[in-house]
Amino acid sequence: ELRTEQEHSTTALRLAKTSEAQCAELQVRLEDAEIVAASYGRKMIAKLEEKIRMLESELATSQVRFNETHKGALRAERRIREMEFAAEEDKKKFGRLGELADKLQEKSRVYKKQIEDAEEIAALNLAKFRKAQQQLEEAEERCTSAENIMGRVRAERAISMSRFNGL
């Protein structure tokens, strides 16, 4: 029984030593794994921090581009509104110019009609003037003829009176 107990005790000691050796080996492997994990963790943290810095930089760049694009869009919208307003003003001006052109065309038609009427009146007046001038010339001719006749009649009368007085 003692022997069995001794064998049992020896086996237990051997197992305990083996367990301690395995435990020590596992402890070393655990420490190595912790060192590797810590090193890998630091590397991962450094990589992640670098990625965060890179993403923050990209975000800042994107924000700057967004702000510039937004400002450009606002300027473009303002320019579009200005151009729309200018187009509306031009449209109104063209409308007024069209109305003015219509009025001027109407005035031009009225003036043409007035000119035609004036030309007609002038032609009638010219015809009347020529007729009056012709009548005046005819009257002057008759007057000259009458004066000639009167002159002859006076001469004949004077001759006849001198004959009558001389008789």
**What does the block give as tokens for 160?**
């006849």
Distance from the first to the final alpha carbon of the chain: 232
* pLDDT computed for residue 167 by the predictor: 57
- Helix (H) / strand (E) containing 96: helix 2-166
* pLDDT computed for residue 65 by the predictor: 97
CA distance 31 to 20: 16
DSSP 8-state class, residue 107: H
Residue with tokens 């030309």: 119
What is the pLDDT tens value at each position of the chain, 167 positions in all?
778 888 888 888 888 888 899 899 999 999 999 999 888 989 999 999 999 999 999 999 999 999 999 999 999 999 999 999 999 999 999 999 999 999 999 999 999 999 999 999 999 999 999 999 999 999 999 999 999 999 999 888 888 888 777 65
